[in-house]
Amino acid sequence: MTSNASRFTEDTVFVTGAGAGIGRAIAERCAAEGATVVVTDVDTEGGEETVARIEDAGGDAAFHELDVTDREAFGAVVETTAERHGLDAIVNNAGIAPDNAFVEDVDADTLERVLDVNVRGVWNGCQAALPVFKEQGSGAIVNISSLGGILGLPKQGPYTLSKGAVLNFTRTVAAEAGYHGVRANAVCPGFVETQMGEAHFEHADDPAAARERMEREYPLQRLGYPEEVASAVAFLASDDASYVTGHGLVVDGGYSVS
């Protein structure tokens, strides 16, 4: 995979949910392109492993344990980051997906948990970073939405509700903050090869067959890779996307147009 090693020189990129999967790929990609990466996650072991991988590859990173649903904690970590490293971009990636269920079968606790992490977590991240960005007159926000944020996915009601909210909220932030030199965009991945993705197939009677059926639904005839989402995020977080704001970049192997 090609990268521009100088794209983030002297920049600091803050990534939530970076202890595994897409978040880890985003952190590693930004570090490979010169950023100091602040890795956050509720999973301390995973977050520290991400930092170690970045440092082993010659990059700079620091880890902070963070529950994105905790508004005060989020604000404190962002403030610490800005003081120690500066802050140039924040990637609100942390998210969860519930088990498949029809809307009428989803219990209240499941709905609240998905909305808390996927929506409140993004809200908290934007609310914490915006004062820093506005004061310095620059900054990039990249929120991770989903294909489920633009299409209806059966048996994924809480997830699609949350990701649709993330996408439209991103547009609101872009409309408000652009006057202060701040950009806000979203990335909408299709199905990606992660642990969360694997869990989806585990509930099928025949996981291998379920995977093959899904792959056939994509024009590119395969599922996505975390690194491919990370490439899109790195673009939107960087000055290469200096005139792009309020956009939802779909990274789905053509699923949404098939």
Mean per-residue pLDDT, 178-186: 98
pTM for the structure as a whole: 0.95
**Dihedral angle, C-alpha 127, 131, 136, 140, nearest 10 °:** 10
- Asked if residues 141 and 129 have their Cβ atoms less than 8 Å apart, the reply is yes
Q: CATH number for 12-189+227-250: choose from 1.10.10.10, 3.40.50.2000, 3.40.50.720, 3.30.70.100.
A: 3.40.50.720
| Residues, the chain | 258
29-33, 85-89, 202-206: the lowest-pLDDT one = 202-206
Is the pLDDT confidence value at 1 over 50? no
159 is a catalytic site residue: yes
* CB atoms inside a 10 Å sphere around CB 77: 21
What rounded mean pLDDT belongs to the chain? 95
Angle value at C-alpha 248, between 246 and 253, nearest 5 degrees: 160
Mean per-residue pLDDT, 69-76: 98
Distance (Å, rounded) from C-alpha 13 to C-alpha 234?
10
Is the pLDDT confidence value at 57 over 60? yes
pLDDT at residue 128, as a whole number: 98
The residues that bridge with 101 in the sheet, in sequence order, are: 156
Among the options 159, 179, 243, 255, which is catalytic? Answer: 159
Is the pLDDT confidence value at 98 over 80? yes
Distance (Å, rounded) from C-alpha 238 to C-alpha 232?
10
Distance (Å, rounded) from C-alpha 36 to C-alpha 251?
25
List the chain domain ranges.
12-189+227-250, 194-223
pLDDT digits (tens, 9 = 90+) for 229-252: 999 999 999 999 999 999 999 999
